[in-house]
């Protein structure tokens, strides 16, 4: 889930009542930078100076990615495949609740099946992600695997998204549309797989290394995975959702990286996105975890600053300073005694 913003500060952000986005002006950023735990940069007089400072940082060796050609080929969808409610219109129906859903045993079983399938597809696609392979080809393979399992690729037609998975390379943060650009030696690529299976969505992602990735890129991916791991470990009944952001942000900052506040996790079930919004930075938005809650945790971590740009396709989000980002995601279930990672495969 994405909230576009210029800069973000939990302590001094303002709410835009028209867009409903948490955002702050460059002036507020400069004036309050010393208050915000999410900022570790020096207090520059002008916002432009901050961007120049970020661009001077050494982000390593990699290709800056711009969107390539996206084919308009329609993927085959057999009529027997159960389809989500937004299939025809692209618009998901609103959820009927405002607090995180507590699922019963049957719903939990359905979530486990969907999440297990999503992970199997993700692992398979990860093995196919190699130098010279296009992300369009990865999308084709994923689509066929999902259809063969009698499931539906959740991103397809969701609010108009044209493909079956999201593929985000290097400086692309999230929601990258698969295209005809071949993967290159040194790329890092996040592949985000969600399936709709037997009435439930399962969602997961991972950033894969392509060929010989430099030390900066490998370290970025390692720390992102550590952010996810540490955030999951604090989850259990009655723990505030804010703990996820506290732990994820602290982990990234302690290793010299920045969590992107605009990228959120979300509740998931028979709906693709619902309560709660899961922030990956320090926040005070309230709410406690309860047994039966299922939601995603999906920190996006960058080498550079927090400013993002949304491209003209309406989906692709890139870093303004062209720094690389990595992201990883699990769907988790809060149990009576702790947490279960639903998108982590156990031995057969």
For residue 24, is it left (φ>0), alpha (ψ between -120 and 50) or beta? beta
The answer to whether 273 is a known ligand-binding residue is: yes
Contact 203, 331 (CB under 8 A): yes
The answer to whether 124 is a known ligand-binding residue is: no
Q: What is the DSSP string of 159-198?
A: GG--SSSEEEETTEEE-PPP-SPBP-TT-EEEEEEEEEET
The answer to whether 225 is a known ligand-binding residue is: no
Distances (CA, A) of 253 to 12, 239, 297, 304, 330: 19, 22, 18, 12, 21
* Burial status of residue 15 (CB atoms within 10 A of its CB: 0-12, 13-18, 19 or more): exposed
- CA contacts within 13 A on the Cβ side of 161: 22
The answer to whether 80 is a known ligand-binding residue is: no
The answer to whether 348 is a known ligand-binding residue is: no
Contact 266, 278 (CB under 8 A): yes
The answer to whether 203 is a known ligand-binding residue is: yes
The answer to whether 175 is a known ligand-binding residue is: yes
- Residues comprising the chain, all counted: 348
Instruction: State the binding site for substrate.
Output: 175, 273
Instruction: State the binding site.
Output: 175, 192, 203, 266, 273, 298, 329
Instruction: State the binding site for a divalent metal cation.
Output: 192, 203, 266, 298, 329
């Amino acid at each position: 889930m994405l909230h576009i913003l210029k800069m973000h500060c939990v302590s001094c952000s303002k709410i835009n009542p028209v867009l409903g986005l948490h955002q702050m002006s460059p002036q507020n950023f400069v004036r309050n930078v010393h208050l915000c735990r999410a900022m570790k940069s020096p207090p520059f007089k002008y916002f432009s100076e901050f961007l120049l400072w970020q661009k001077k940082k050494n982000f390593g060796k990699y290709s800056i990615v711009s969107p390539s050609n996206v084919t308009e080929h329609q993927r085959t969808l057999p009529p027997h495949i159960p389809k989500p409610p937004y299939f025809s219109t692209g618009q998901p129906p609103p959820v009927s609740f405002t607090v995180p859903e507590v699922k019963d045993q049957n719903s939990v079983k359905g979530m486990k099946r969907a999440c297990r399938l999503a992970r199997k597809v993700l692992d398979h696609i990860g093995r196919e992600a190699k130098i010279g392979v296009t992300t369009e080809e990865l999308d084709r393979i994923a689509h066929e695997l999902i259809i063969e399992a009698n499931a539906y690729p959740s991103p397809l037609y969701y609010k108009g998204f044209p493909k079956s998975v999201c593929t985000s390379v290097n400086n692309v943060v999230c929601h990258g549309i698969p295209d005809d650009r071949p993967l290159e030696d040194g790329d890092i690529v996040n592949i985000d797989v969600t399936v709709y299976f037997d009435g439930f969505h399962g969602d997961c992602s991972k950033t894969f290394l392509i060929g010989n990735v430099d030390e900066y890129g490998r370290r970025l991916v390692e720390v992102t995975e550590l952010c996810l791991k540490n955030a999951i470990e604090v989850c259990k009944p009655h723990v505030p959702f804010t703990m996820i952001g506290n732990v994820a942000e602290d982990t990234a900052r302690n290793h010299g990286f920045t969590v992107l506040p605009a990228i959120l996790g979300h509740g998931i079930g028979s709906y693709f996105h619902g309560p709660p919004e899961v922030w990956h930075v320090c926040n005070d938005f309230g709410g406690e975890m309860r047994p039966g809650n299922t939601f995603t945790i999906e920190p996006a971590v960058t080498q550079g600053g927090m400013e993002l740009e949304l491209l003209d396709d309406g989906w692709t989000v890139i870093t303004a300073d062209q720094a690389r980002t990595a992201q990883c995601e699990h769907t988790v279930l809060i149990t009576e005694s702790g947490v279960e990672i639903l998108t982590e495969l156990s031995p057969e």
